[in-house]
Amino acid sequence: MTVIKETNYSLLEKQLASLIEDESNLIAILSNTSALLNDTLDQVNWVGFYLIENNELILGPFQGHPACVHIAIGKGVCGTAVSEDKTQLVADVHAFPGHIACDANSNSEIVVPIHKNGEIIGVLDIDAPIKNRFTKEDQQGLEAIVSILENQLSK
């Protein structure tokens, strides 16, 4: 059994807020956020963003192996997060209907929608090489991280 070290989300929130507090460029903010999360989270193999453009999700800043560039809204875990406008916490991606396998080594995933001025603009997507990687605590922590992003992007 894989032991996952617990993430101190309170500390991570403070680090992120400090890292992006004076920045307004979307790409810079998302790039540093993906790097911070990738460095901090245990047992993950992809951390990044997909942004809505022309009514589909387009690959944004990320850390990890090359990924799918285009994802239709409503398709896969990321597209479902957008169409339902709610976090998707998936213990086993192979059991998720319509899962898009960008990386065969990914076994679990969490996707959190991102909003700007009340409209969804994309998602935070994190994959893990083990099943059942993400917990409700991770969901709450990552939703708080996305809240910090949303506040910064709305300034």
Tokens 């997060």 correspond to 81
Indicate the pTM of the whole model.
0.95
Tell me what pLDDT residue 19 has: 95
CATH number for 89: 3.30.450.40
Q: How confident is the model at residue 3 (pLDDT cuts 50, 70, 90)?
A: low
60 token code pair: 């944004």
85 within a domain of the structure (yes/no): yes
40 within a domain of the structure (yes/no): yes
Q: How confident is the model at residue 147 (pLDDT cuts 50, 70, 90)?
A: very high
14 within a domain of the structure (yes/no): no
**Helix, strand, coil share (%) of the chain residues, nearest 5:** 35, 25, 35
Residue 82 has pLDDT above 90, yes or no: yes
6 within a domain of the structure (yes/no): no
User: Which domain range does residue 104 map to?
Assistant: 21-154
Our count of domains for the chain comes to 1
Looking at per-residue pLDDT, the higher value among 102 and 57 belongs to 57
